[in-house]
Amino acid sequence: MRPLRPTPQRNLNLLFAAALSALVLAPSRPALAGTVDLDAPGRTEEDKDRDAYNKPIELFDFWGIKDGMKVIDLFPGGGYATQLLSMRVGPKGKVLAYASYDHEAFEKRMKPLNLANVEEVEIPYPDGFATLDKRLKELPAASFDAIITIRNYHDLKNPIEVLAELKRILRPGGTLGIVDSRTSKERDPDVCRINQATIVKEVTGAGFKLAATSEMMANPKDDYSRAFWNARWVVDQTTLRFVR
């Protein structure tokens, strides 16, 4: 019996089979530290809907959150940002979910994930917003690279005292990242909004430098009479980066 004569199609089939075999046998690589996987285990469909208006990857880039950093997620809620920060800082970094006011929701997300670089400090609502400056004294000076808070700054009862503590906790050159819902008033607590100029005045008055502003989450169609939870798809948001 004569051997099969090579043909272009047969050669192509052999090359394809070899490539497929190499792909199957190649060991899988672990995710690189510093990457954020929006399809990671534990992320819900609601999380993925939120990504459209929270823009977490772009936001972390803007704030300069990197592999190996120690970050405070201030008022983490259900841990939406905490989980993503955990991926961003990687195993050499740390995320402290501080003043966690919804422990049940936070634990529901985090417990199955068993993230070694995440720690939670619970302060029940509304105590965290009223006593934060006193509780922050528990943390060592110059011990974190970044502190971020998303749509919570407006609720602080004594922002000047809190800012003094945040500055103390941050390392020189560290980042304070703030996102909040805009209003034309200085503050509008009924709908959980605050004016961008008010934030800048208070934070720079506490000794921080305004390093950058972004319009990545701005929306001129927003109705400032509506609370964030009633307008989350169109809310006009301030996005700021301050440096200690």
Round to the nearest angstrom and report the end-to-end CA distance of the chain: 82
* CA quadruple 37, 38, 40, 42: dihedral, nearest 10: 150
pTM: 0.85
Contact 62, 85 (CB under 8 A): no
For 38-243, CATH number out of 3.10.20.440, 3.30.200.20, 3.40.50.720, 3.40.50.150 equals 3.40.50.150
Under DSSP, the state recorded for 84 is: H
Distance, in Å, from the CA atom of 162 to the CA atom of 165, rounded to the nearest integer, reads 5
Contact 160, 139 (CB under 8 A): no
Extended strands (E) in 108-233: 118-122, 144-150, 170-181, 187-188, 193-194, 209-214
**What burial class does residue 1 get, using C-beta atoms within 10 Å of its C-beta: 0-12 exposed, 13-18 middle, 19+ buried?**
exposed
- Spans of the chain, pLDDT less than 50: 1-32
Q: What are phi and psi of 133, to 5 degrees?
A: -60, -40
Q: Could you tell me how many residues make up the chain?
A: 244
| Residue 33 confidence (pLDDT) | 58
Residue 100 falls in which region: left (phi positive, over 0), alpha (psi -120 to 50) or beta: beta
| Residue 21 confidence (pLDDT) | 37
Contact 70, 122 (CB under 8 A): no
Nearest to 207 by CA among 146, 155, 163: 163
Query: Does residue 194 sit in helix, strand or coil?
Result: strand
Contact 203, 126 (CB under 8 A): no
Q: Which amino acid is at 171?
A: R
Contact 152, 125 (CB under 8 A): no
Sheet of 237-243: strand order equals 118-122, 94-100, 70-74, 144-150, 170-181, 237-243, 209-214
Beta partners for 170? 144
| Residue 23 confidence (pLDDT) | 32
Domain ranges of the chain: 38-243
